[in-house]
Structure 1
Amino acid sequence: MTDIDFYQDPVNYCIEALSSDDSNERYNAADILRGLAGEAEPALVAICQHIEHDSDIEVRRQCVFALIDIGAALKQRANQCLPYLEAVKNEDDAELCELAQLAIAEICS
C-alpha cells in the first residue's frame, strides 16, 4: 500500500492509509491514530476530512472516536477540529453525534 514504514513513522503511515479505497484500512488507520493520541497531531487535517467526507459511516465514527483521545491529549491544540465536530453533532446517526459531543468536551476541557 505505501512506501512509508509503519514502525518508523506510524502517523504518516496512517495519514496515507486514510486515503485507501479500502474502508477497513481507513478504519484501522483512525484506530491506530486514536491510540497514538497526542503524537497524532500531524494527522488532524486528514482525520477531519474523513469526518466530513468519508463514504463509510463506521470510518467517520472511528475518526470522531479518535478525536476523543487525541483531543484529551492535545486540548486546545486540536481546536481546528471543532467546526467538523460541530457539523456532525446534529446528524441523524446517534452514535456519531454522541462521539462528537465527547470529543468536543475533551478538546474544550
Structure 2
Amino acid sequence: MKYGKLLNEADMAKARDAFYLLDKNPDGTPRIFFENAGGSLRLKAAADCFHKLDMIPDCDGRKHPLAVELKNLVHKAEDDVRVIFNVKGGSIATGLTASQLMFSMV
C-alpha cells in the first residue's frame, strides 16, 4: 500500500467525537473547520481538564497543600511537553496564539 490506509468509520467517528464544535458553530449552524488565525479545535478531554483546574480559586504560588498540588501539576505538564517534543533543556513558552508568542519572543 503506497499511502497507508484510511480510518474505518467507527474509528473516524471516535476521533471526531473527541473534539468540541467540529462540524457546527455554537449556534448550531454547520461549519467546515479551516482556520489559520489563532483558532484551533478543542480536544474535549483537554478542555474539560482545564476547566476543572481553572475553577480552583487558588494559585500555585502559595505553600498550602492545594497550592503545592497545583505546582506539581504544572511541573508534570512541563515535563510531559518536554517528553513529547524530546526537549533536553531550554524554556517552554505558552500563549493563546502563535502570533502572541512570536511577539513576546521578539
> Structure 1 length as normaliser, TM-score?
0.25
Bigger radius of gyration, 1 or 2? 2
Which structure is higher in RCO with an 8 Å CA cutoff and minimum separation 6?
1
More helix by share: 1
